[in-house]
Amino acid sequence: MKSLFVAIRAVLYSTGFVLLWGWLAVSARRYDAGLRVGVPPGAQMLGIGVAVAGALLCLACIVTFIVRGRGTPAPFDPPVVFVPTGPYKYVRNPMYIGAALVLAGYGLFQRSASILLLSVGFLVTMHLFVLLLEEPGLERRFGDDYVAYKQAVNRWLPRVPR
């Protein structure tokens, strides 16, 4: 019953996150005309693939947090168990990478330079969040396990684990 409650919370938080960034993406489109930068029509099919790949990565992260971490992806309701498995085995921030891919894929699909710029802004914002808040908090919560994980797994660029 407890894991069902965790799953419901994770779905609600994730939905809110998607709706927020979706609203920002739709709102950003109004700046396309001022940018005077075009995205070629062929980018639409690529955008679908990029967005689907990002969405699947996010879904894998959410499931890993629920099942292995017994928590949600929300910083205010995090996993109670350290999760160095699943997508987190290859890169420390796969959820943010997946979300940026969804945004960039949507930008390509909509042929919107503004949304593509928003996806870059999203990554910069998440990078600052990770550096200033998330990583120090994880070090406090999980101690030496997290420090060893940081040394073995890259923050943004995936690599095959040892």
Using CA atoms, how far apart are residues 94 and 73, in angstroms rounded to an integer?
11
- Answer yes or no: is 80 within a domain: yes
Reported pTM:
0.91
Cβ 142 vs Cβ 69: under 8 Å = no
DSSP tag of 40: -
Number of domains in the chain: 1
In the chain the first and final C-alpha atoms are separated, in Å, by 37
* Residue range 8-29: mean pLDDT, rounded: 91
Q: Which range (62-66, 90-94, 158-162) has the least confidence?
A: 158-162
pLDDT band at 7 (very low <50, low <70, confident <90, very high): confident
Q: Percent of the chain scored above 70 by pLDDT?
A: 99
Shortest CA distance to 133 belongs to which of 87, 57, 76, 60?
76
Cβ 83 vs Cβ 68: under 8 Å = yes
- Answer yes or no: is 86 within a domain: yes
- Answer yes or no: is 162 within a domain: no
Range of the domain at 110: 2-152
- Answer yes or no: is 90 within a domain: yes
144: domain CATH number is: 1.20.120
Token readout for 75 is 């910083």
**SS3 at position 72:** coil
Token readout for 62 is 């959410």
Given a cut of 60, whether residue 161 has pLDDT beyond it is no
Between the alpha carbon of residue 138 and those of residues 46, 58, 92, 143, the distances in Å are 35, 20, 11, 7
- Answer yes or no: is 8 within a domain: yes
